[in-house]
Amino acid sequence: MAEEFEEITHCQMCDAEFRVGRQGNEGNYIPRYHLSVCQRCYDCNQVGWSPLYEQKLIKHCDEHHITLPDRNQSGLLPVE
Ligand SMILES: [Zn+2]
């Protein structure tokens, strides 16, 4: 019997492990930032990226030549 495709990956924001595979994806890929993040980060930052992760995000965008989007009404960078 073929094994289910499954892979352990790391959240690019908080470094938590999560599984991706045919059974479902525990994380989220954010095309705008080319980022894979865990569900928790995705859910917790719906109002905008927490200042806790913002520096990481800005550095990531800088390194990958991604243009940062405009800040939202809360002055935060949108999650996606
Ligand atoms: Zn995370």
Residue-level pLDDT, tens digit, the chain, 80 residues: 556 678 899 999 999 999 888 777 889 999 999 999 999 999 999 999 999 999 999 999 999 999 999 999 999 999 99
Q: How far is the CA of 36 from the centre of ligand 1 (A)?
A: 9
58 part of a folded domain:
yes
Residue 28 CA to residue 13 CA, distance in Å, equals: 12
- Specify the number of domains making up the chain: 1
Burial zone of 37 (CB within 10 Å; 0-12 exposed, 13-18 middle, 19+ buried): buried
Domain that holds residue 33: 6-63
The pLDDT assigned to 18 comes to 92
Q: How far is the CA of 27 from the centre of ligand 1 (A)?
A: 8
Going by C-alpha positions, the residue among 44, 49, 37 that lies closest to residue 74 is 49
What are the φ and ψ backbone dihedral angles of 32, each rounded to 5 degrees? -55, -40
78 part of a folded domain:
no
pTM for this entry? 0.84
